[in-house]
Amino acid sequence: MLGFLSALQADGAIVGGYLLLNAAARPLEFHCTAPVRPTRAQEILYGPTLEPFLYGEQIGGALVAKTKLKPVCIFTDTALMLSARTIQDTPLACLASTNSESFFLGDCQAYVAKGHSADISAVQATWDKLEDFDVQEPFTRIREALQEVGSASRPARSASEPQDAAKARRAA
């Protein structure tokens, strides 16, 4: 089982999606976040660590924690999602340009988070078991699903506001 983690950014808000697929590329689970928009106070206080926090912990970490099933590895197309590796133990590889340690999966150049070079062998071992699997294609599914469920068009919540509180506020 493989995980695919992605995010879209629009109008200052970030929406994340997480798709788990079996070896035949069939979906097993899909989760998405409500749009997250940092507050001005967070921008000031977090400074240059804000984006890794939002993508890695607030979005990526929350999505990975939601799943019932655990993949053997997770792929992302969003370099900032590599920050999620520090709060979970599943190997995570990025298929986008970063300043991290790189390796190849077929024709795709992949990266792992700094300090997690052991993930390379775990990801490569998983990759070697796959046949004719297009590792880029699931990200298209995630983006289309996020657009379909309308996540990108909902009002953004503050990154410090729990999602349940946002639901309760909309229901009131």
For residue range 140-168, list pLDDT tens digits in order.
999 999 888 764 455 554 454 444 434 43
Residue 151: per-residue pLDDT: 43
Residue 102: per-residue pLDDT: 82
Tens digits of residue pLDDT in 101-124: 788 887 788 989 888 989 999 999
Residue 167: per-residue pLDDT: 42
Question: Closest by alpha carbon to 29, among 41, 18, 42?
Answer: 18
Q: Is the pTM here over 0.85, yes or no?
A: no
Q: Positive or negative, the Cα torsion across 114, 12, 32, 109?
A: negative
Which range of 44-48, 105-109, 125-129 scores highest in mean pLDDT? It is 44-48
Question: Closest by alpha carbon to 109, among 125, 87, 129, 124?
Answer: 124
Residue 96: per-residue pLDDT: 72
Count other C-beta atoms under 10 Å from residue 115's C-beta.
11
Confidence at 99, pLDDT banded by 50, 70, 90? low
Structural domains in the chain, sorted by start? 2-171 (3.30.2170)
Say which range, 49-58, 71-80, 151-160, has the weakest mean pLDDT: 151-160
Residue 148: per-residue pLDDT: 81
Per the structure block, which two tokens stand in for 47? 């400074």
**3-state SS string over the chain?**
CEEEEEEEEECCEEEEEEEEECCCCCEEEEEECCCEECCHHHHHHHHHHHHHHHHHHHHHHHHHHHCCCCCCEEEECCHHHHHHHHHCCCCEEECCCCCCCEEEECCEEEEECCCCCHHHHHHHHHHHHCCCCCCCHHHHHHHHHHHHCCHHHCCCEECCCCHHHHHHHHHC
Per the structure block, which two tokens stand in for 94? 């990025």
Distance between CA 55 and CA 45 in Å, rounded?
16
